Amino acid sequence: MSWISIDVDLDDIYREMDRLDKETMAGWLDEDGYFIGEPEGHDIPSSSSPLERHFHDVLIGLSSKFYSMSNEEIELIENLYKKYC
């Protein structure tokens, strides 16, 4: 049997994937035990307002949906982050 070695850039492949491809891949990762849960160590202080706690919860929930987002949605979030940081 012959073998071929191919150098593949996963970043390039990921950027070319559409939403359905990403959802399919996320399903594969979940099946293989790579479930993306809520990050640990990101507790918000108890002195925070209800609005701040809600915003924090929304951002944590959004971060767990990374593999379901389009490239444009990811870019939008990155641009918002860059604007305020």
What's the mean pLDDT in 6-28? 88
Does position 76 have pLDDT exceeding 90, yes or no?
Answer: yes
Number of other CB atoms surrounding residue 48 within 10 Å: 13
Instruction: Count the alpha carbons within 13 Å of 32 in the hemisphere toward its beta carbon.
Output: 7
Cα dihedral sign, 72-9-21-35: negative
Number of other CB atoms surrounding residue 54 within 10 Å: 11
What's the mean pLDDT in 51-70? 86
What's the mean pLDDT in 58-76? 88
What's the mean pLDDT in 12-30? 88
User: Is 70 part of any domain?
Assistant: yes
Residue 63: give the domain boundaries.
10-84
- Total domain count for the chain? 1
User: Is 58 part of any domain?
Assistant: yes
pTM over 0.95: no
What's the mean pLDDT in 36-54? 70
User: Is 1 part of any domain?
Assistant: no
User: Is 3 part of any domain?
Assistant: no
Cβ-based neighbours of 52, under 8 Å, separated by 6 or more: 44
Do 19 and 66 form a contact (C-beta atoms < 8 A)?
Answer: no
For residue 77, what pLDDT is reported?
Answer: 92
